[in-house]
Structure formats: structure tokens, C-alpha cells
Amino acid sequence: MLSRSILARPRLELSFKALNHETRRLASTKSLKDTIAEVIPSKQAHLKRLKEQHADTLIGDVKVANVLGGMRGLRAMLWDSSVLDPEEGIRFHGLSIPDCQRQLPAAPDGKEIIAESMLWLLLTGQVPTPDQTRGLSRELAERGDLPQHVEKLIDSLPATLHPMTQLGMGVAALNHDSSFQRAYEKGIKKSEYWTHTLDDCINLVARLPALAARIYRNVYKPGTPLPKIDKNLDLVGNYAKLLGHGDNHDLTEYLRLYIAIHGDHEGGNASAHTAHLVGSTLSDPYLSYAAALFALAGPLHGLANQEVLRWQLLMQKEVGDNITHDTIKDYLWKTLKSGQVVPGYGHGVLRSPDPRFIALQDFCESRPELLESPIIQLVKKTYEVAPAVLKEHGKTKNPYPNVDAASGCVLYHYGLTEFKYYTVIFGVSRALGCVTQLVWARALGLPIERPKSYSLDAIEQLAKSGSS
């Protein structure tokens, strides 16, 4: 019996290997929607367990500083796809940016993460196969054309209207064809909300490049024809082509990296929080993300990268060719003593260099043309000097660079020199995280967001009484 079992083992192991291979094969062919449907029950069970076992468990104290300081630091929001640690930075379902760079599929003609593989990870918590990524790329390309009424709307707007205003208007107008809105009006079950929300979200992500590129053409290149979407390209490959830079492989690769790692940064930032808040009212994804874009358009949020570039170019103009650590240090102190902040440094949560900034710096280090670029070298040398100056200044909680310290300068080097348009690219990117949470808010049945507010007098009374 023993010898027979030993003899049988290779055949048994072979059958297990065959079964595992077949399981992997089947998993690699599952669609995004099917993968999410498989994940939903475990997430619902997890949420139910948390409610039942820990509903009354304290996870933080609300201080007057939280209430008066814009709720900064207050733990009060579910956002499952990413967690932002003050020291180590962002993780997407537990994966750091270097992890994602190693594991997430790239485009066939590139090496950088692409939006499709990041979107799949954010939505499912799983690393997609190359086949799944390619399939999603094709689906997005097939859905990428703008409805005619949106094209007419964008073409009717004055070129002087800010590109972010145009982007928000265009996204809002896409809700004319909202699958969720139509289904809700017919009276669908709550358990089906997520499927129609997902359909809208995929359409939204798919159409953003064509919308953003049309705005760019109208504002900066009027009369230039827009090429057709290439069904064989990934989302950002098509975006670069529509912008008129499809032949610039290095810019396309940079945009792929930028849009992927910029796509989600936990839920507390203004644009993500706005999408979540508006979505909690059961507004469709187009209206929810349009609202988020208008939050992103604020100078304290999405406009930061253009402010960094403007400041760096002014420094370059003043310093000239004599760029040394000492001349940069003098310019930093000049900026601070004039009562201004150093743009691109500091962050609402981070207390160490932003991993996204490091990833963009590594990108620059890998390309000779960027190593020789005066503006990129200025960014690098500023990073070598600024933290010490800001520490000495003493008024900055985080003296380290955030992603904006580098992002706009690389775009400028590669020929995208229109400052006002930079936040539109940010808007194309940030959709990845926002639509993810809109889908999961419907899948988990999250309620409308409704915090309690207090007047100044009421806050003072609560503080004096020590009441919570």
C-alpha cells in the first residue's frame, strides 16, 4: 500500500498542478466586472463584522483643533483602496509605489505602470494579468468617443474659460447618458446599484482623454484636427496621441507613470472627499466627479504643480546660469522672508519625502535628456537644499517635497508648457481613485455623509464642559 501510494503521488501532484494552472488560466480571463462581483461578498461581510463587533469602539478623539482646522487628522471616512501613512506615504491595497512598479502590467511598448492596471488594482484589490490589462485597455478605447452633445458644448465655450471649468462642465454633461440615473428612475434594487455605477465609471474614465484633449485643442491649438482613438493603444497612449504628442515616447511614458501613481491618495483630500460626499447622495458618477474637479481646481489643491513651475522659472530667471546650492538657498530665504511659502514643499499628512516625488525623480534619473535639462536639474538641486532651509525657518511641519515639486517641470521640459492645463491632467488621473470609491460605496451600501456641525459658542461650551 505504501509503495502504491508513493507511485501514485507524482500523478496526483500532476493533477493538482493541472488544476492550479486551469484556475490561473480562468482567473486571467475574468472581466473586471466579474472580478469585482467575486470580491464584493467578502467586503460586505467584513463591513458587517466591523459594525457588529466594533460599532462603539473609539478609534480617535475629536479635538477642537480638528473641528476648527478643517477636520485635519480626523479619522472619519471609509476609503478602502489606499491608505496614506505620514512616514512611508501611500499604499494601494497594501502595495507601495515601488511594489506597483514591479508588479502592475505596463503597456506593450513601455515599462511604466498604466492607468488600466492601477484602476484594476484599486477596484478589486488584485494585480491584473497582462491579458486582463489589455482587455480593459481595449474596452476603454471602444468607449472613449465623446457624445456629440458634449463635443458641441466644449466647442461652444470661449477659449478664455479656464480649462478646469471646461472639464467640470464636460464631465457633468456626460450624465445625459448615465446608466445609473436611468436604472434608478426605473426602481432597481439597492444590490444592483454598483453594477450601473461601474458602467458609468468605466465610461467616465474612458472618455476623459478625449474630453481633456478637446479642451486642450480648443484653448491652445485652435483649428488643429483631433485624431481618432486607436483601439490598440492604452488609455494614456491615446491621451498623448490626442494631445498631439503621440510620437513622443518619453512624454507618453511619463504621463503613464504620473497618471497611475497620482490616481488615488486616500479619501481625505478635497477632490476625493468631494466625490465621496456628492456620491453619497446617490448622484450619478458624472455629477459626483464634476464636483470633485471643481474642488481640484482650487489653488490649495490641484493648481499647486503650476505654482511650483512658475516659482522655479522665476528662480531660474533670477539666478541665471549660476545655479549652486548657495544661490538656491538665498532664493529660498528671499521667498520665505517675503511672506510666501515655498511651493511644492509640505503636505497635509506626509511628514517625509513624498514617494510619488521620488518615483518621478527616479524617472528623471533614468533619462539622459532630463538629466541635462536645466529646469529638472534645478528641481533636483532645490530638493538637496530646501529641507534644511525650511527646518531652520521653523514654521513648516513637513519640510520635504511633495509630488508637485517635480510633476509640472517634467511636463514643461517635454513641450507641454501651458501651465493652466496641468490640473486637467491631474483631473484625468484622480478619476481612478474617485470612481473606485463610488462603485464600492454602492456595493457596500454606505449611507449619505452627514457630520454634525456646531457654532463657535457651542464649541466653546463643549470644550469648557469637557463633553464629547
Cell of 300: 490649495
Q: Report CA-CA distances (Å) from 356 to 282, 303, 374, 432.
A: 32, 17, 21, 16
- When pLDDT is cut at 50, 70 and 90, the band that residue 13 belongs to is very low
Mean pLDDT of 288-295: 98
Is residue 319 within 8 Å of 328, Cβ to Cβ? yes
pLDDT digits (tens, 9 = 90+) for 227-267: 999 999 999 999 999 999 999 999 999 999 999 999 999 99
- Residue 303's pLDDT is what? 79
Of 13-27, 165-179, 394-408, give the lowest mean pLDDT range: 13-27
Residue of 96 and 3 predicted with greater confidence: 96
- Residue 28's pLDDT is what? 66
CA dihedral sign, ordered 184, 293, 40, 26 = positive
User: What structural domains does the chain harbor?
Assistant: 304-413 (1.10.230.10)
SS3 113: strand
Best CA proximity match to 431, nearest among 200, 242, 143, 112: 200
Is 12's pLDDT higher than 50?
no
Is 3's pLDDT higher than 60?
no
- Residue 2's pLDDT is what? 37
Residues 181 and 203: their CA atoms lie apart, in Å, by 14
- Residue 21's pLDDT is what? 41
Q: Residue 272: which residues within 8 A CB-CB, separation 6 or more?
A: 79, 264, 265, 266, 292, 430, 433, 434, 437
- When pLDDT is cut at 50, 70 and 90, the band that residue 321 belongs to is confident
Is 209's pLDDT higher than 60?
yes
Is 11's pLDDT higher than 60?
no
Residue with the three cell numbers 549660476: 322
Is 334's pLDDT higher than 70?
yes
Q: Report CA-CA distances (Å) from 395 to 294, 342, 387.
A: 30, 12, 12
Cell of 467: 463633553
- Residue 186's pLDDT is what? 95
Is 288's pLDDT higher than 70?
yes
The residues annotated as belonging to the active site are 301, 347, 404
Global pTM reads: 0.90
- Indicate the burial class of 331 (C-beta count within 10 angstroms; 0-12, 13-18, 19 or more): buried
Is 304's pLDDT higher than 90?
no
- Residue 107's pLDDT is what? 96
Is 42's pLDDT higher than 80?
yes
- Residue 395's pLDDT is what? 66
- Indicate the burial class of 245 (C-beta count within 10 angstroms; 0-12, 13-18, 19 or more): middle
Residue of 343 and 207 predicted with greater confidence: 207
Identity at 466, one-letter amino acid code: G
pLDDT digits (tens, 9 = 90+) for 105-161: 999 999 999 999 999 999 999 999 999 999 999 999 999 999 999 999 999 999 999
Cell of 84: 496614506
For 153-162, the CB contacts below 8 A with 24+ separation are: 154/211, 154/214, 154/215, 154/218, 155/214, 155/218, 157/218, 159/218, 159/219, 159/222, 162/297, 162/420
Q: How many CB atoms lie within 10 A of CB 159?
A: 11
Q: At what angle do helices 422-443 and 270-279 cross, to 10 degrees?
A: 40
Highest mean pLDDT among 158-167, 310-319, 343-352: 158-167
SS3 416: coil
Is 301's pLDDT higher than 50?
yes
Residues 421 and 423: their CA atoms lie apart, in Å, by 6
Helices of type H across 262-354: 270-279, 285-296, 304-319, 325-337
Is 59's pLDDT higher than 60?
yes
Best CA proximity match to 432, nearest among 181, 209, 101, 193: 209
Of 73-77, 230-234, 428-432, give the lowest mean pLDDT range: 73-77
- Residue 467's pLDDT is what? 59
Mean pLDDT of 327-336: 94
Query: How many percent of the chain have pLDDT more than 70?
Result: 93
Beta bridge partners of 85: 89
Cell of 31: 472581466
Q: Share the mean pLDDT of the chain.
A: 90
